[in-house]
Chains A and B, each alone.
Chain A
Amino acid sequence: MNREELQARWEALGPWQPLAAALLAILLLAILHYGYWFMTAETDPGGYWASREIERDGDVWILYLDDEPGPGGSEVVFRGTLVTSPRFSVYENGTIKTGIFSPVDGLVYTEDLYGKTMLNLSGMPILIHGNVSGQFFANEIVTIRATKVNDTTNFTLNGENMTLIRQGWEAQPEDIALVSQVDRWFFGSELLALIAGVWLTVKRRSWIGLLQASYGICGMLALINALLTQNVLVEYLAYLTALAAFGMVVWLPDQLRPVIRREWEAALHIARFEAHRGLRSPRTIVLVLFFTLFIVGMGWLLGDLQKGENALLGGVQNPNDALGQLAWFTFFVTALAAVAVSLDSFVAERDSGTLPLLLAQPLRRETVVLGKALGLWLSIGLPALAAQLLGLALMLREGGQPAGAAIAGYLLLGQLMILTFVLLQLCLAIVARTGAEAAVYGLLVWLLVALVWPLLFLAAAYALGIDVTMAGYEQDPAYQSVVSHMGLLNPGYVYQMGVGLLAHRTFAVDFEGVSGWQVASALLLWPLACLALAAWLFRREERG
């Protein structure tokens, strides 16, 4: 292809030129990115570890690694993903049986290992001379500058004394680094190129359908980018880019704009009305007093429990842990308030006869549901935000400072949780035929999510063969996995997990068996699914 042909093809792209240039730039950056790691690190530690051989010569075993890791020599940078949480990989008295050879870890367990961590980096064990529990988390992509060691240890096999001469890789805690410290520059540049390409293309847009498709692709790219990176700033920027790109897909059609605007304004109008009515109702005032006292009291207590002398009393280990517990208590009372305030929303309107008049207005059913949900959310969410701030202030005064992102998550995700429960109760209020029926449904939902759920954990764990009668079963990774997975089915636990995740560096970490992105998806999907269900149920009433 000669220069004229290339130029002609470029011209043919028309308004898509900026986007095409951006995608080309992203491709080049991705190649550079790949090349960088290829040149500086061993990127397949699992494959390298698979090359190990064990030669048995009588009572002498020799473990050696056949391949040479590259690049490097006796000191190599390995790049990979932490397969298991370091929290569960620390050697302690009772967790290992000394004097036996572990083919998986490639060493003989001895008392010298106590307090050290055996990290599983993409399938390759690397011994860290220190406890890195709480510093790194499963699913995090890290580099470890490890040194090759050769040592000899003795072990017993079937009562016979054996000798192991091994080759292994070991490192100090400070040799571990998040890959994102490098990746953020590549991902950040790619995102900037993407944003610039999309923006300039928007300016030149000509054909709406294709443009929407391109936004969809950009949104997907940004989302993948967000999930791969491990820098919180780049990650959130990528989430925002994805959100904006997906928003454009919906927002763009010119013919839809006035409809969306009109319906949105109508929803806000209903919301203002509902909030105005809700905030003045005696029911709301009583509920607000109740949960404010509870949240403020718990905030104070959790702050106090962080002090050294009380640390054991409530099991509060650090400020992040305290914030997680405060999130649970906040869920416990505000979920009840959200359910109670939305209890008979539609039933009461049906009984009083105001619903037919509202439905006869030029509104979509979805608009009515959205407006009501927003209004009820405001009537509980605004006082709840004040209570959260008060509780948080007291906790901070008495105790330590949790992560900033976790504080933001506690406040904002708390509001999302309240909205979810409002929407959930709206679904039930639409289905219920009488106020009493709606009240029973609401109470059952709250009892289930707030009180019965922990019992369901135990039942499910027992059914899965986890021994829940043993002391310390709560620390069992299998039990933690059950709790995390079942937690996704409960908006209150999703909220608590969201706050917990934000106390870490990024959404990309593993939360005891559940990936961060699953928690993030659950945070978004719960309110969206409840809204869609409520709208569908309400629309179904048109059928009579």
Chain B
Amino acid sequence: MLRFYNREAACNGVLLELEDVQKGYPVRRWGREVSRVEALRGLDLSVPEGAMFGFLGPNGAGKTTAISCIVGILRADAGAIRLDGEPLDASSGRAEIGYLPEQVGLHGHLTAEETLQFYGAFHGLARDDIDARGGELLGQLGLAGETTRAVRGFSLGMRKRLALAIALLHRPRLLVLDEPTSGLDPRGVAALRKLLRQFNSEGLTILLSSHVLAEVQQLCSEAAIIHRGRLVRQAPVEELRSAVANAGQLVTLKLGDFAPEMLEKLEALDGVAEVSAAPDGRHTRLEVQLAGLTTAELTSALVDAGALVFSVEPHEPTLEDVFLASTEEEE
């Protein structure tokens, strides 16, 4: 693996940087490697310091592999992973990362307090420090009354919160979350989002991998989309959304007196990419993908053509649109 000190990255406000990271899984038969499944094919990523960073990708894109390489569960085959410009390894850097895995496994016979003592010691924290910081975190995470209870009696939500406390115990600079809300009930999701916003506002950089795009849209300031082990797009969330908006907005209209020949006229208009019409009771439901034409110009064109416009519903582009558009481009 290429590893070299990159102070320049640190100076640019980048906390975590992945450069041309490659990772393949060997397929072995009788201990011999017969082939490889490439999960990361030269992944580049820059997570700015202090950001709440969304990490998106379809199933099998390589998100979990990338996260495993960042937190040290796996070793990248090639490329560089740097934290604050310095290469990450077991003895440096990784102590500044907190990690919440998707499937939280904790030792059931330990209490919450003992669990924190167990993991806190790996960061060289003194017993008293762990008690103090752990108590504070458990309080914030709503587990203050559960400190002496065995973890085996915890619900999934409680386990996730305890795992989050473990991840935050040593005051990391970067918190890596792999599908943090999966398996949580809506209240749990809302509480977790609130906490994440709070920690982020206190200066913690968060890398959030999620399938829930709305979650990333709500929480994150910047996002990266990966597909087939490569970075497809990385930009602030608003910028990603406006890129799609510029590419064309989708408008849904409810019309009366819509004649089929109007469809051809609409398609012939400059600035219209795609039009589809479907009956909607006594009305017609029209979906128009704009490509330069504004909603007002479209409405006026329809009125001029003799259609009765009952409603106009322009769609705000979501991150899902960006995601689909980006991954379709790659396809």
Q: Which residues of A contact B (CB under 8 A)?
A: 259, 262, 266, 269, 273, 277, 280, 349, 352-357, 359-364, 542-544
Given A354-B105, A542-B75, A269-B121 contact (CB < 8 Å):
yes
Closest 7 CB pairs of A and B: A353-B105, A542-B75, A361-B122, A354-B105, A362-B95, A360-B99, A360-B71
Q: Which residues of B contact A361 (CB under 8 A)?
A: 94, 119, 122-123
B190–chain A nearest beta-carbon distance, Å: 25
**Is there a chain A Cβ closer than 8 Å to B166's Cβ?**
yes
Q: Which residues of A lie under 8 Å from residue B123 when comparing CB positions?
A: 361-362
Q: Which residues of A contact B23 (CB under 8 A)?
A: 544
Neighbouring A residues of B68 by C-beta, 8 Å: 356
Per the CB 8 Å criterion, the residue count for chain B at the interface is 35
CB nearest to A364 among chain B residues: B90
Are B26's CB and A354's CB within 8 A?
no
Q: Once the chains bind, are B101 and A360 in contact (CB under 8 Å)?
A: yes
A269 and B68 alpha carbons, distance in the complex (Å): 24
Contact A356 B91 (CB under 8 A): no
Given A357-B166, A542-B74, A542-B75, check contact A363 B105 (CB 8 Å): no
Nearest-Cβ distance from residue A358 to partner chain B, whole angstroms: 8
C-alpha spacing A57/B269, complex, angstroms: 135
Which residue from chain A places its CB closest to the CB of B90 in the assembled complex? A364
Cα-based distance from A259 to B97 in the complex (angstroms): 19
Task: Decide if B105 touches A356 in the complex (CB within 8 Å).
Answer: yes
Q: From residue A354, how far is it (CB to closest CB) to chain B in Å? A: 4
Contact A362 B104 (CB under 8 A): no
- Expressed in whole angstroms, the minimum distance between the Cβ of B228 and any Cβ of chain A is 17
Q: Determine whether the beta carbon of B26 is less than 8 Å from that of A543.
A: yes
Q: How far is the CB of A28 from chain B (nearest CB, A)?
A: 47
A266 — which chain B residues lie within 8 A by C-beta? Answer: 121-122
In chain B, positions 86-112 with a C-beta closer than 8 Å to chain A are 90-91, 94-95, 97, 99, 101, 103-109
Provided the pairs A269-B121, A543-B26, A544-B26 are in contact, do residues A360 and B73 lie with their beta carbons within 8 angstroms? yes
Chain B hits for A360, CB < 8 A? 71-73, 94, 97, 99, 101
- Whether B122 contacts A362 by the Cβ 8 Å rule is yes
Q: Are B106 and A362 in contact (CB under 8 A)?
A: no
| Distance in angstroms between the alpha carbons of A360 and B118 in the assembled complex | 14
Q: Across the interface, which residues of A come within 8 angstroms of B166, CB to CB?
A: 357
Please determine whether A543 and B75 come into contact, CB atoms closer than 8 angstroms: yes
A362 is contacted by which of B39, B94, B105 (Cβ under 8 Å)? B94
How far, in Å, is A251 (CB) from chain B's closest CB?
18
Q: Which of A262, A353, A362, A363 interacts with B101 by CB under 8 Å?
A: A353
B4 to chain A: which residues have CB within 8 Å? none
* A352-B108, A354-B107, A544-B24 given; 15 more Cβ-contact pairs under 8 Å: A269-B121, A277-B109, A352-B105, A355-B105, A356-B105, A357-B105, A357-B106, A359-B73, A360-B73, A361-B123, A362-B95, A543-B74, A543-B75, A543-B77, A544-B23
Chain A residues within an 8 Å CB radius of B95: 362
B279 at the interface (CB under 8 A from A): no
B104/A353 in contact, CB under 8 A: yes
Taking the nearest CB of chain B, how far is it from the CB of A201, in angstroms?
30
Give the distance in Å from the alpha carbon of A266 to the alpha carbon of B94 in the complex: 15
- Asked whether, in the complex, the Cβ of B26 is within 8 Å of the Cβ of A356, the reply is no
A362–B24 alpha-carbon span in the complex (Å): 23
Could you mark each residue 12-32 of chain B with 1 if its beta carbon is under 8 Å from any beta carbon of chain A, else 0? Answer: 000000000001111000000
Question: Is the Cβ of B121 less than 8 Å from the Cβ of A359?
Answer: no
Chain A residues whose C-beta falls within 8 Å of the C-beta of B75 in the assembled complex: 542-543
Residues of A within 8 A of B71 (CB): 360
A364 to B90, CA, bound (A): 6
B56 at the interface (CB under 8 A from A): no
- Residues of chain A within 8 A (CB-CB) of B288 are none
Q: Are A363's CB and B122's CB within 8 A?
A: yes
Determine whether B124 belongs to the interface, using a CB cutoff of 8 Å to chain A: yes
B27 CB to nearest A CB, Å: 10
Chain A: CB-nearest residue to B93: A362
Does residue B255 face the partner (Cβ distance < 8 Å to A)?
no
Complex CA gap A266/B101 in Å reads 22
Give Cα distance in the complex from A361 to B121, angstroms. Answer: 10
Instruction: List the A side residues contacting B99 at CB < 8 Å.
Output: 357, 360
A363 and B90 contacting across the interface, CB-CB below 8 Å:
yes
Q: Which B residues are in CB contact (< 8 Å) with A349?
A: 105
Tell whether, in the assembled complex, residue B106 and residue A354 are in contact, meaning their CB atoms are under 8 Å apart: yes
Is B163's CB within 8 Å of the partner chain A?
yes
- In angstroms, Cα B94 to Cα A262, docked, is 14
Contact assessment for B105 and A544 in the assembled complex, using a CB-CB cutoff below 8 Å = no
Instruction: Sample 15 A-B pairs with CB under 8 A, ordered by A number.
Output: A262-B91, A269-B121, A356-B101, A357-B166, A360-B94, A361-B94, A362-B94, A362-B95, A363-B90, A542-B75, A543-B26, A543-B74, A543-B75, A544-B26, A544-B39
Q: Which residues of B contact A357 (CB under 8 A)?
A: 99, 101, 104-106, 119, 163, 166
A273's nearest neighbour on chain B, judged by CB, is: B118
User: Which residues of the other chain, A, contact B124 by a CB distance below 8 angstroms?
Assistant: 262
Minimal Cβ-Cβ distance residue in B for A359: B73
Q: Determine if A362 and B25 form an interchain contact, defined as CB atoms under 8 angstroms apart.
A: no
Taking a contact as CB atoms under 8 Å apart, the answer to whether B74 and A259 are in contact is no
Q: Chain A: which residue is nearest B103 at the CB level?
A: A353
User: What is the CA–CA distance of A166 and B72 in the complex, to the nearest angstrom?
Assistant: 80
Q: Which residues of B contact A356 (CB under 8 A)?
A: 68, 73, 101, 103, 105
CB distance from B191 to the nearest CB of A (A): 21
8 Å CB contacts to A: which residues of B205-238?
none
- Nearest chain B CB to A456's CB is how many angstroms away? 25
- Determine if B105 and A259 form an interchain contact, defined as CB atoms under 8 angstroms apart: no
Residue of A nearest to B104 (CB): A353
Distance (Å) between the CB of B298 and the closest chain A CB? 52
Interface centre among B24, B105, B118, B124 (most CB of A within 10 A): B105
Across the interface, name the chain B residue whose C-beta is closest to A281. Answer: B109
Interface centre among A349, A355, A360, A542 (most CB of B within 10 A): A360
B247 vs chain A, min Cβ distance (A): 37
Q: Which B residues lie within 8 Å of A273 (CB)?
A: 118
Provide the bound-state CA to CA distance between A277 and B150, in Å: 14
What residue of chain B has the Cβ atom nearest to residue A277's Cβ? B109
A543 to chain B, nearest CB (A): 6
Contact with A along B118-131 (1 / 0, CB 8 A): 11011110000000
CB distance from A524 to the nearest CB of B (A): 27
What is the CA–CA distance of A526 and B77 in the complex, to the nearest angstrom? 32
Report how far A499 CA is from B220 CA in the complex, Å.
66
A366 vs chain B, min Cβ distance (A): 10
Cα–Cα distance between A269 and B118 once the two chains are bound (Å): 8
Residues of A within 8 A of B97 (CB): 360
Q: Once bound together, how far apart are the Cα atoms of A360 and B122, in whole Å?
A: 10
A544:B25 contact, CB within 8 angstroms = yes
